[in-house]
Structure 1
Amino acid sequence: MTYEKYASEVYYITKKAGNIIMDYYNGKIEVLLKKDESPVTAADIAANKYILQELATLAPDIPIVSEENTEEENKNAAKGGLFWLVDPLDGTKSYIKKTGEFTVNIALIKGDKPEGGAIFVPAKKTGYFTAEDGNAYKQEQDGLPTQIRVRPLPEDGVVVVASKSHRTPETDEYIEKLPKVKEIVSASSSVKLCLIAEGTADVYPRFGRTMEWDIAAGHAVLNAAGGKVLNTDGSEFIYAKEDFANPFFVASA
C-alpha cells in the first residue's frame, strides 16, 4: 500500500491543522461566502494552506484535491488515479456556531478507493486514523492510540448515527425499517463513520448531499476497522467521480 509510508505524518498534519483552526476559534469568526453560497472562514483558508504545503513536501508527486481548491484544480489533480483528498475544516457551519463538531479530514485515494486516512476533531483533541500496520486507531487527548474495531450487531438493538440538521424523509424511512433501533445519535459526517469503526454505533444511512472530501478519511478508517460503505442499492461506493459529489449511501459494521 502507498499510504502506509505516509500514515504517521498525515495524522500529525491533521493535528497541526486542527491547532491552527483552534487559534481562530476563540476570537470573532468572520464569514465569507464562496461562489456556491457556502460559508468559508479564515480558519478554513489557513488550515488548507498549511495542509497543502505539508502534503506537497511529504509527497511531491501526489496531487491534491481539496474542498477549498478550484474546480479546475481538483479535476486536474484527480486525473492520475492517485491523489490526496482533503477537507481542511469539515463542518464550517458548526465551527461558526461554535458547537465543537468540526474536523480535519485527509485521505489518500488510489484508483477509486480510499487507501488510508486521518481525521482530527480539534475541539475535543481526538483523532482517528489508519496506521502503518493497516489497522484503525483512536487517540484521545495526549493518550496512547488504541486500536478500534467494529462490533457485532447488538441483540438489544442497533445504534444509528444520523444528522440533526440534515435528516431527510428518506433517512427517517430507512431507520423505521430497521428491525430494532436502540438509539439515534448525531455527529459530524466523518465522525459518524468513526463511531461505527470504534464500535459505539452500527449504521449510518445518508440520504442527503455530501462530497467525497466529507467522508473519504472516515471511510478509510471504517474499512480498516472491518466496516463498509455501500451505495443504497448495495453496490460498491467509489471515489474520483467527475464532480466529487456522493450518491446516497449506507455505512455499517
Structure 2
Amino acid sequence: MAPSNVRLNPLGGAIFISVVLLVFFYVFGFPTMFPEERVSMRELLSASIVLARRGGDRVLAIRRDDTLDTKKKGETKEGANEYVSQGDMKSHEQIYYGLKKLFPKMNVVSEEHEKKPPSFSSIPDVDLHLQEVLAGVQEDQSIPISQITVWIDPLDATQEYTEMKDKDGSDMLHYVTTMVCVAVDGQPTIGVIHKPFANDDKGETSWAWVGHGKSGNLQNGAPSSVGEKRIIVSRSHAGTVKEAAQESLSDVKITPAGGAGYKTLEVVKGNQDAYIHTTLIKKWDICAGNAIIKALNGKMTTLNGGNIDYSQGHVPKNEGGLLATLYGHDLYLNKLGKLKTQL
C-alpha cells in the first residue's frame, strides 16, 4: 500500500503540464491569441495612388532643378550601365516610408535602398479614401497582411530620365514612371503607374485592381486592324528580340522604348500589340503593369508561358523573358520559339 503522505513536486508538476500542452498545441495548432492584422485593399489602393504621385512630384522637381546627382550603381548582365539619381532616392523615400508609416508590418520591396532612413515625421499623411477610388471601386476586401507583398519602382527609366534627349534630339521624359504594385499570395492584384511628365508635367495616373475596378483612362485598346504586328521592346536591353521577331512573324514593326511601365501601357492603350523582353528584368519593373494588364483581361507571362510569382521579395529577378499582350497571347508564344531557346 502506497504511503498516504506522498506529494508531487510543484515544479515538476508544472513542467509536466507544460510539456503536455506543448505537445497538444504542436499536434493541433496554437490558439490565435492575437488575430493577424488585416488590410483594406481599397485603402491600400488609395495609398498606392497618392504615394506614386508623391514620388512623381519629387522626380519632376529634381529633374527641373537639375539636381540629379547621378551615380553608377552597377551593370546589367549584358554589360549596360545602371544608374541611380536623387530622383530615384527621393521618390523611394516618399513611397517606401509612406507605406511603412501606414503599414509597419507590411512586406514592401523597393528597387532602391537608402543609407539613412528619413524620420516618419517628414513623411506627410496619406488620404486613404480618394474620391476616384470610392467612385470606381464599389466593394472593399480585407486581406491578412502576411499575404501581401508590395513592389515599388520609385523611378522607372532612370537612363532616359538622366539623359532627357535621344540621339535624334527627341524628348525621352515621357518614358519615366513611378510604380506601385500590390501582390496577394504572389499574384499581381493592384497596379499603379504614374507618368510625372505627362500632360505638360501635370502627370497622368493609371491604376487597376483586378476584378474590382480601374481608372477612367484605362480602356482596352484594339488590336492592329492591318496584318502588321506592332511589337515594343527595350531601347537599351533589346537583346536579339528584333531579329527573332522579324524572322518569326511575317510582317512586324519593332518600336524601341524606355521603361517597362511605359511599354506595358502602350500595349494597354492599343498603340502596340505586344511587349517583348528577352533579358533579365526585375519584378518591381513589371508587377504594376502585370496587374493592370491582367485587370483588362490581357496576359503577362514569361516567354515559356509561365506565370510570374511576386510573393518572394528576396527573389526580385525574372529570368524567363517577358511577353505582355491584350490579344493573341498564345499566338505570340508559339511564334517566338527562337526567343525561348536564347534565355
Under a length normalisation based on structure 2, what TM-score does the superposition of the two structures give? 0.63
Shift of 1:15: 1.1
- Which of the pair has the greater relative contact order for Cα pairs under 8 Å at 6+ separation? 1
The DSSP-based 3-state class of the residue aligned with 2:230 is strand
Tell me the equivalent position of 2:318: 246
Shift of 1:127: 1.9
Tell me the equivalent position of 2:162: 96
8 A Cα contact 1:211 1:244, kept in partner? yes
CA distance in structure 1 between the aligned counterparts of 2:211 and 2:324, rounded to whole angstroms: 23
Tell me the equivalent position of 1:85: 151
CA distance in structure 1 between the aligned counterparts of 2:86 and 2:271, rounded to whole angstroms: 34
Pick the aligned partner of 2:107 from 60, 63, 71: 63
8 A Cα contact 1:21 1:44, kept in partner? yes
The verdict on how the C-alpha distance between 1:42 and 1:69 changes in structure 2, with shifts beyond 3 A counting, is: same
The DSSP-based 3-state class of the residue aligned with 1:146 is coil
The verdict on how the C-alpha distance between 1:186 and 1:116 changes in structure 2, with shifts beyond 3 A counting, is: same
Matched, 1:53 2:116: no
The verdict on how the C-alpha distance between 1:244 and 1:56 changes in structure 2, with shifts beyond 3 A counting, is: same
CA distance in structure 2 between the aligned counterparts of 1:165 and 1:159, rounded to whole angstroms: 18
Tell me the equivalent position of 1:117: 191
Shift of 1:228: 0.5
Tell me the equivalent position of 2:63: 25
Gaps of 5+ in 1: 71-79, 138-144
8 A Cα contact 2:177 2:195, kept in partner? yes
Shift of 1:215: 0.8
8 A Cα contact 2:233 2:255, kept in partner? yes
Q: Letter of the 2:190 partner, please give it.
A: G
State which structure, 1 or 2, has the greater radius of gyration over its C-alpha atoms: 2
Gaps of 5+ in 2: 1-38, 76-80, 115-145, 165-171, 327-343
Tell me the equivalent position of 1:75: none
The DSSP-based 3-state class of the residue aligned with 1:222 is helix
CA distance in structure 2 between the aligned counterparts of 1:136 and 1:62, rounded to whole angstroms: 23
Tell me the equivalent position of 1:34: 73
8 A Cα contact 2:219 2:269, kept in partner? yes
Identity of aligned residues (%): 21
Under a length normalisation based on structure 1, what TM-score does the superposition of the two structures give? 0.83
Q: In the TM superposition, what are the counterparts of 1:1-253 in structure 2 within 5 Å?
A: 3-26=41-64, 27-34=66-73, 38-69=82-113, 80-98=146-164, 99-100=172-173, 101-124=175-198, 125-131=203-209, 134-137=212-215, 145-152=216-223, 154-182=225-253, 184=255, 186-241=257-312, 242-247=314-319, 248-253=321-326
Q: Letter of the 2:155 partner, please give it.
A: L
Deviations 1:31-89 (A, max 9, x none): 1233667321112111111112211233333221001138xxxxxxxxx5421101111
CA distance in structure 2 between the aligned counterparts of 1:155 and 1:108, rounded to whole angstroms: 36
Q: Letter of the 1:250 partner, please give it.
A: L
CA distance in structure 2 between the aligned counterparts of 1:96 and 1:214, rounded to whole angstroms: 18
Shift of 1:185: 5.2
Name whichever of 239-248 and 227-236 sits farther off: 239-248
RMSD between aligned alpha carbons?
2.5
8 A Cα contact 1:157 1:181, kept in partner? yes
Deviations 1:108-152 (A, max 9, x none): 111221111101111112222115973333xxxxxxx33321434
Shift of 1:187: 4.0
The DSSP-based 3-state class of the residue aligned with 2:317 is coil
Name whichever of 166-175 and 41-50 sits farther off: 166-175
CA distance in structure 2 between the aligned counterparts of 1:15 and 1:31, rounded to whole angstroms: 22
Q: Letter of the 1:68 partner, please give it.
A: E
CA distance in structure 1 between the aligned counterparts of 2:242 and 2:317, rounded to whole angstroms: 18
CA distance in structure 1 between the aligned counterparts of 2:87 and 2:181, rounded to whole angstroms: 20
